[in-house]
Amino acid sequence: MQHMDVIILQKGKEKAVRNRHPWIFSGALASKGKFLNGAIVEVQSFDKQVLGYGFWDNNSQIVCKLFHFDKKVVFDQSYWFAKFENAWSIRSQILDFTETNVFRALHAEGDFLPGIICDIYADTAVIQKMMEGLEFVQNDLVTFLKTKNIKYFYSKTNKIAGKNSDLVEGWLEDKPSDKLVVKENGLLFKVDIENGQKTGFFVDQRDNRATLEKYCKGKKVLNTFSFSGGFSLYAGRAGATKVISVDISKPANDHCAQNFELNGFSLDHQEITQDCFSYLREVDEKFDVIVLDPPAFAKSAAKVMNAARGYKDLNLLAFKLLNAKGYLFTFSCSQHIDKVLFQKIVFGAAADSGREVRIIKWLNQPSDHPVNIYHPEGDYLKGLLLYVE
């Protein structure tokens, strides 16, 4: 086990930690420290009371992320295995692995293990470390996942881990020889782990894609920011008369076409390689169902205002293209835009459109992306299903 250093908080800065919030910012420290990245540090209040234990990170303003708030224990393999097994048990209860073998097995703060994300793709695990120095946890995670019949392991870097980050991306052991194909709610998807966005597939939209399927029979569907065609495939299986998938990436559209072929769908489907804002401004046809699933527009609090304008413009364009009695599935994955602000943004777009709009359902991240109740920032994906008259 790594050497354990001690950090002390300023007086008055311990309240959040006592409430089990896992983040400690550099400004909360009584004195500046610099330890090995990933080192386990003991967190103490100004009067030397032990508050918890966390991973140290020199590359971030969040200098420590806590994973343990109870009495000191030995942080050995059995400790990490207990966390992994608890997370796996939750997924095994909520998912039918015969119909869905792509899911999030470990969700950082949501599973009380900040700094580590792990997505499962059939017999392959993609492990994303959010900070340097967590190789000792990653190694135990690999050992644990082998007991769950996972054979291949890919370490994915995280671009927000810090500009000075030395995280290395690549296969940890053997590399699979065949192209990876996974199953989500019975649909087949090819996954490109090495070159795909996030860990290779947007595993957080599974439940929302299943919801969309209920509204697409006999409808004309537009899926913007379509990537590998997740929402498009569900619309196709539902019996949509026409599906258009728009993404600025030609490789993503090629990937989408391959997924349609893989599932044997023969409906009218078009992949359009174009900026989605430009497409929405220029297209001269209307749709019964539109999906807006853009990347995060606000990656920091300073960009919220610009992001809000972007989301409003996007939704206003969609409102203008919806047929009467149409449905809009609109999302934001920007952590810095909460549900209340997102609804206000969409309200502004609806008001400017002059349409009658009703909220049918709030859309969220699935239950394999649990939210730590002490860390509301983990509730990052928000969406609305709207009925537009």
Catalytic residues: 333
Q: Which value, to the nearest 10 degrees, does the dihedral of the CA atoms of residues 296, 179, 223, 94 take?
A: -70
Rg of the chain over Cα atoms, rounded to whole angstroms, equals 22
> Nearest 5°: phi and psi at 8?
-120, 135
